[in-house]
Amino acid sequence: MKGVVNSVAYAGGLRIGEVAIPDISEVLKQPGRFVWIGLHEPDAEVLAEVQQEFSLHDLAVEDAARAHQRPKLERYGDSLFIVLRTAHLDPATGGIEFGETHLFVGASYVVSVRHGPSLPYVAVRSRCEASPPLLARGPGFVLYALMDFIVDQYFPVVDAYEDKLQALEGAIFDNTFSRDTTERIYGLKRDLLEVKRGVAPLVDVCNRLVRADAALLPEDVRVYFRDVYDHVVRINEMIDTLRELLTSALEANLSLISVSQNEAMKRLAGWAAIFAVPTMIAGVYGMNFKFMPELEWFYGYPLVMAIMLGACGYLFYRFKRSGWL
């Protein structure tokens, strides 16, 4: 069926086998069993069939179909609906690719709906199936495994942007100022803001899963969400730190550009003052008056040239000593 990646039944932490969506209700009649369904950009027909099998709420299904939701946790009767934003680095471009995962969790089922370029959850399923005692705890542990996998994908993203920040700092302080450096800083700030929007709401989501708000999760499963909460808080703090450092880097870059421009203006002003002296003297003697001092004296021209060169040399010495040239 289009959009269905996996549909597997479990009992006692062991994989029973794949089950077709129309047969799920019959499988769940047997005690101690739950179904884990993985969907990737399913069409309306598949979502409607899944909704009918698990009696999912219309609003939650509508959100899962449209995507483009902010991370959140909502409770509809005896089920949970969780929206998560996924992020991973594109190996080709080095940029961040964002996706969405919508999770429906009930007492006997987990339905994951992926949208966009998010990583598949085959590794999560394999890891859970390799730990039957943990998988025997039911859909709550599957929810933890999925959230832990999604949150952990943010660590390489943040680490990559730490490396980019270090490269930017090197570009800022190597005395080669360019507009490209400023554009790179703004680009990093914009990307980190997108990451922040995906991570920050998870703090509240994890809090609610740990506390009594998540009555559907057994007490022995809630403990695992503390680990996810710690990771989310850590990533959130790392992002805040990077954003502050980028703001400081932008300020430092603008300050260094301003200092560089001031140095250039000082040099220009110094040379302008030096050339002003011969310009003034030449301007006076170029006014073509008949009666001017030393106009017909034999040593007048050499004297004027010596005065101009001497004045220029003295000004150059003074400006050089003061650091203007």
CATH number of the domain encompassing residue 86: 3.30.460.20
What pLDDT, on a 0 to 100 scale, did the predictor assign at position 178? 66
pLDDT score for 233: 92
Which tens digit of pLDDT belongs to each residue from 274-285?
Answer: 777 777 777 776
> Do 48 and 100 meet the contact criterion of CB atoms below 8 Å apart?
no
Residue that finishes a domain, picked among 111, 131, 151: 131
Question: Pick from 51, 54, 37: which is nearest to 1 by CA?
Answer: 37
**pTM score, whole prediction:** 0.77
Using CA atoms, how far residue 52 sits from 2, 23, 67, in Å, is 17, 12, 20
CATH number for the domain spanning 294: value is: 1.20.58.340
CB 78 within 8 A of CB 106: yes
Structural domain contains residue 158: no
State the number of CA atoms in the 13 A half-sphere of 87 facing the CB: 25
Inside any domain, residue 153: no
Query: Does the pLDDT at position 312 exceed 80?
Result: no
Percent of the chain with pLDDT over 90: 12
User: Residue 215 pLDDT > 70, yes or no?
Assistant: no
Mean pLDDT score of the chain: 82
Q: Rounded distance, CA 159 to CA 175, Å?
A: 26
- Among 92-96, 241-245, 288-292, the minimum mean pLDDT is found in 288-292
242 in any annotated domain: no
Average pLDDT value for residue range 250-273: 73
Residue 189 has pLDDT above 60, yes or no: yes
pLDDT at position 110, please? 92
Q: What is the mean pLDDT of residues 165-194?
A: 77
Domain contains 144: no
pLDDT band at 298 (very low <50, low <70, confident <90, very high): low
Angle (CA) 228 211 12, round 5°:
70
Indicate if the pLDDT at residue 213 is higher than 60: no
**Percent of the chain residues past pLDDT 70, beyond the cut:** 88
- Domain housing 275: 260-322
**219-285 and 179-210 helices, crossing angle to 10°:** 160
Residue 184 pLDDT:
81
Structure tokens at 199: 């991570």
Q: What residues contact residue 184 under an 8 Å CB cut-off, 6+ apart?
A: 164, 168, 171
109 membership: H or E segment, kind and range? strand 109-115
pLDDT for position 176: 62
DSSP conformation class of 118: P
pLDDT at 265 over 90: no
Query: Is 308 among the domain residues?
Result: yes
Domain assignment present for residue 280? The answer is yes
With respect to residue 138, please indicate whether it lies within any of the assigned structural domains. Answer: no
The mean pLDDT of 135-164, rounded to a whole number, is 90
CA distance 254 to 149: 40
Domain boundary among 131, 157, 189: 131
Picking from 60-74, 180-194, 250-264, which range would have the lowest pLDDT averaged per residue? Answer: 250-264
pLDDT attached to residue 97: 86
Rounded to whole angstroms, what are the CA distances from 21 to 34, 48, 54, 305?
13, 11, 10, 101
What pLDDT, on the 0 to 100 scale, is given for residue 293? 64
Residue 315 has pLDDT above 70, yes or no: yes
CA atoms within 13 A on the CB side of 128: 28
| End-to-end CA gap in the chain | 77
Confidence (pLDDT) at 279:
77
Give me the pLDDT at residue 50, please: 87
Say how many domains are in the chain: 2
d(CA 193, CA 187): 10
Tens-place pLDDT, residues 38-59: 998 888 888 888 888 888 888 8
* Domain boundary, last residue among 69, 103, 131: 131
Q: Where does the pLDDT of residue 294 fall: very low under 50, low under 70, confident under 90, or very high at 90 and above? A: low
pLDDT greater at residue 180 or residue 160: 160
228 domain residue, yes or no: no
